[in-house]
Every structure is written in structure tokens, then in C-alpha cells.
Chain A
């Protein structure tokens, strides 16, 4: 069974540009969550999609957006990039409609560097 796949693995962008990251969940998983990790910070929750609908959103500015397609693949977009957006972006998929007892499976992440 293929794991969670994130593309690209590495990305360098310039301030002011926008970027789109992709996440393909494990087959059959309908929930995809996105996280940001910056140096010195723990994983910060961005948003979660379930069956093409954004179900939850963290405390990030509107420059961060996402969507989920009918095949459960998800994309995350960051517009007007700032230096502080340089981070490792992880996505995680799970099967559940509720996440209480269901583990999440993480991708290897996309390392975004904004210069």
C-alpha cells in the first residue's frame, strides 16, 4: 500500500510569489490535514479537508488556502510569500470521519525556502 506522497520535496521561491504544494493520501483515506513546522516551533495545524470540504482551520492568515479533489488528493496554496513562510510543510491522511482513535499517516513533507 503506497504511503502519503508529497510533491515537490524541495522548493525555493522568491518573496511575493505564490506556491502550490500537493499531497496524495493513502488510497481510501478521505481526510487530509496540513501542518507547518518552522525552526524552533512544533507542528502547527493549518487545515483539514474531508470529502472535498474544509472541516477545520488553524490560525493562519488567508494567504494560506487549500482544496481537496474528488480523489482525496489535496493541494495547499500560499500566496504573496513571505520570508517567514520558509518551513517544512507536512500533510497527513487518515481514514476517519472522526480522528479520536484513528492514527494519521504523514508524508515526508515539502521543504519550502523563501528568499
Chain B
């Protein structure tokens, strides 16, 4: 069974704090890793698509890194805002199928 793990499971931070979470995946047969943000009552929204070892992607205050050799990706949020409150999912592309992690639920307190 393919395991994609995310930690922590949940996180509470104060507005303005920076934070990061981890996605761990099998290091063999890597194709791609996707990060999504899923706000309550909305659709999951793609943040990053990462395909190469060493990839670093950035979108505003959010960035992500990828290490395919050791099987992990970090998502960083700088200066968290209440609107960043959501569940952050990573999805490992295994063959043609996505295997999703359980997500990290972030709550940013004003």
C-alpha cells in the first residue's frame, strides 16, 4: 500500500507567524507531487505542481520545496493571514493515479 503522510495533522498559529508543513512520499518511481489548498465549503485549489528534485516554487507568501531522493516536500507560509486557514493537501502521482495525503489543517488566529 502506497503511503503519503503529512505532518502535522493540524496547526494553530497567530496571524503574522510563519509556518511550514511536511509531505512524505515514497522516494522511488517519482513522477510528480501536487500541493492543494482546500478551504471549507470550497473546492480544492491547486497551489503547486512539482516534478523535479530540488524544485522550489513560490506563489506570494507561500512556497514549496521538493526532495525526491529522500521523499519529502515542504510547504512554507510566510506571515500567515486568517485567509490562509484551510487544509493543505499533497498528492503524489503514482503511475497515472494520485495518492493524497490526509492533509494538514491550518488555523490562523487573528
Contact = CB atoms under 8 A, between A and B. Distances in A.
A in complex with B:
yes
A105 to B, nearest CB: 7
A4 interface: yes
B96 interface: yes
Interface residues of B, number: 24
Nearest to B44: A106
Contacts of B51: 100-101
Contacts of B49: 100-103
B96 A90 contact: no
Given A43-B89, A101-B49, A101-B51, A108 B43 contact: yes
Majority-rule SS of B interface residues: strand
A104 interface: yes
B95 interface: yes
Interface stretch (B13-21, B60-68, B76-84, B100-108): B100-108
Given A3-B43, A103-B46, A106-B44, A56 B95 contact: yes
Contacts of B100: 35, 42-45
16 contacts: A42-B89, A42-B102, A45-B97, A45-B100, A56-B96, A90-B44, A98-B96, A100-B31, A100-B32, A100-B93, A101-B49, A103-B46, A104-B98, A106-B36, A108-B42, A109-B43
Q: Give the 10 A-B residue pairs with the shortest CB-CB distance, closest first.
A: A103-B46, A43-B100, A106-B43, A100-B32, A42-B102, A42-B100, A106-B44, A56-B96, A45-B97, A108-B43
Interface of A: 3-4, 33, 35, 41-45, 48, 55-56, 58, 90, 92, 98-109
